[in-house]
Amino acid sequence: MSFYPLLIVLLLMSAVGYWFGSKKALNTVRKSTNFITPRPHQFGLYVVIWALVPPVILSAIWGMLQVAPLQIEAGTLRQIDQVVFPVLLLLATGAGLYFAILRINPDLRVRRTIEGLVYVILILASIISILTTVGIVLSLLFETIQFFGKVPMSEFFFGLNWSPQTALRADQVGSSGAFGSVPLFTGTLLITFIAMCVAVPLGLLSAVYMTEYASSKFRAVVKPLLEILAGIPTVVYGFFAALTVGVFFRDLGDSLGIDVVSESALAAGVVMGMMIIPFVSSLSDDIIMAVPQSLRDGSYGLGATKSETIRKVILPAALPGIVGAVLLAVSRAIGETMIVVMAAGFAANLTANPLQAVTTVTVQIVGLLVGDQEFDSAKTLAAFALALVLFIVTLCLNVIALMVVRKYREEYD
C-alpha cells in the first residue's frame, strides 16, 4: 500500500478510536467513585495516542532500516515495503486501539499519558537545534578530513598560491591545482577591516547621538530608518556594490589618475560596512543604555559637559560591551557572502592594497560549489575545508564576544 491511502486509513482508525473512547468514558463516568475525572475528550486523545504511537515508531524504524545499507534483494525489499510493512502497521494500530479502549475507566489517569507524550515531543523539538550543530560539524568534518588526505594541511594553511581549477587531463601542467589559502584569509581580513572602518565609527557615533542627545521624537523616526539598512537583503547590497559603488570608485580613481579596478576590495568593504552599521549601532545602543544613570549624574554633578561625560565616563564603562559588539560585527562581516560574491574578485590575489581586487573565503566556497560537483575531487572538498575554518572562526569570535559582554554585565548588577 502506498503512503497516502495508508495515512488516511490510520487517521480514520484514530478518529473512530477518539469517538469510541470519549463515548465509553461518558457512559462509565457515573459509576466512578472518584471526584476528579478527566474530561471525555482527554479519554479520546488517550485512545488516539495509543493508536498512533506504535505506527509512528514502526515507520521510524523502517525508515532507518531503508537508509542503512541492507543486503536484501530489491524484489524482497519491495515486497516488504508493499505488503509486510503496511500489514504490520495496521495490526499495531488495531492492537493499540483495542487495548486503549479496553483500559478506559473513569479512574484512569489519562492526563498523565497525554502530558508525558507532549513533554517528549517538546524535548525532541528542542534537540533539533543540537542536531543541526552536530550535522554542520559532521558534514564539514568528513569532507575536510578527505580533503586533507589529498592536500597536506601545511599547504592549505601556509601556502601562498590558490588556484583550485583542476585541469581536464592528468598530465597537464598544474593539474593538481594549488590550495594555499593564505590569500583568501588576507583578502577576507582586508575587506572585513575596510567594513569595520566604515561601520564602527558610524554605528558607534549614531548610537551615542541616539541615546544621549536625540529627542524621543527624533529617535522614533530615525531608528526605524536605520533598521531598514539591516533588513535589505544582501544580494541587493551586492548589486549596489558591483554596479554603483565599484564603478564610482573606478571613475573617481580615473579622474585622480589612480588605478582602481572596478572589483576593488574598497567597494565591497564600504558596502559591507554600510550593511553592518545598524548591527553595530543597535548593539551599542543597548550597551550605552545599560550604563547606570548614577554614573552620568555623578559626572554632570562634577561640572562635566555632556560630551566629556560620554568620552570620559560612559564610553569607558561601556567599552567591554562595545568590544563584544564589534567582535560580533566582525564575525558577521567574515561570514557575509553575497556582497563579496557579486562585488569582489574571484582570482586569489595576495595584496593589502584596497584598490586591487581580492577574493574571500566565502567567494571561493561559492565558486567551488556552484555548478558541477564531484565529491571525490579536491576542488569540491576544499570548499568544505574552507567552510569549516569559517565556522570555527565565527564560532570563536561569538563565544569570545558573548563572554566579554556577559562579564561586563555583571559589573553593575
Partner 1 sequence: MTDQAQKAVGNGWQSEKYIKNLAKRKRSERRFRLTGLLAILTALTLLAILLFSIVSKGYSAFVQTTITLDITFTESVIDPNGKMDPAELRTANYAKLVQDALREKFPDVKGRRDLRKLFSLVSNDADSALREMVENDPDLIGKTVSVDLIAGDDVDMLNKGYIDRDAVEDDRRVKDQELVWLDKLEADGDIKMRFNSGFFTNGDSREPEKAGIAGAMVGSFYTIIVTMLISFPIGVMTAIYLEEFATKNKLTDLIEVNINNLAAVPSIVFGLLGLAIFLNFAHLPRSAPVVGGLTLALMTLPTIIIAARAAIRAVPDSIRQAALGLGASKQQAAFHHILPLSMPGILTGTIIGLSQALGETAPLLMIGMVAFIADIPGGFTDPATVMPVQIFLWADSPERAFVEKTSGAIMVLLGFLIILNAFAVVLRKKFERRW
Question: What is the C-alpha radius of gyration for the chain, rounded to an integer number of angstroms?
Answer: 31
Shortest spacing between CB 121 and partner 1, in angstroms:
7
Shortest spacing between CB 362 and partner 1, in angstroms:
6
Nearer Cβ to partner 1 (104/274): 274
The alpha helices in 33-166, defined as continuous H runs, are 40-67, 74-79, 85-103, 110-150, 153-158
Nearer Cβ to partner 1 (24/332): 332
Shortest spacing between CB 396 and partner 1, in angstroms:
10
The owner of cell 589559502 is: 181
Using a 10 angstrom Cβ sphere, with 0-12 exposed, 13-18 middle and 19 or more buried, the burial of residue 393 is middle
Nearer Cβ to partner 1 (125/256): 125
* C-alpha to C-alpha distance for 168 and 16, rounded to whole angstroms: 64
Nearer Cβ to partner 1 (28/394): 394
As beta bridge partners, residue 179 has 162
Shortest spacing between CB 171 and partner 1, in angstroms:
31
How many CA atoms lie less than 13 Å away from 209 in the CB half-sphere?
Answer: 11
* C-alpha to C-alpha distance for 355 and 380, rounded to whole angstroms: 30
Strand, coil or helix: 257? coil
Shortest spacing between CB 154 and partner 1, in angstroms:
24
Shortest spacing between CB 140 and partner 1, in angstroms:
7
Nearer Cβ to partner 1 (353/394): 394
* C-alpha to C-alpha distance for 407 and 404, rounded to whole angstroms: 5
411 φ, ψ (degrees, to nearest 5): -65, -40
Shortest spacing between CB 33 and partner 1, in angstroms:
20
358 φ, ψ (degrees, to nearest 5): -125, 170
Q: What are the counts of helices (DSSP H) followed by strands (DSSP E) for the chain?
A: 17, 2
Nearer Cβ to partner 1 (115/411): 115
* C-alpha to C-alpha distance for 123 and 116, rounded to whole angstroms: 11
Amino acid at the residue 230: A
Nearer Cβ to partner 1 (132/165): 132
Shortest spacing between CB 167 and partner 1, in angstroms:
25
Nearer Cβ to partner 1 (154/216): 216
DSSP 8-state secondary structure symbol assigned to residue 29 = G
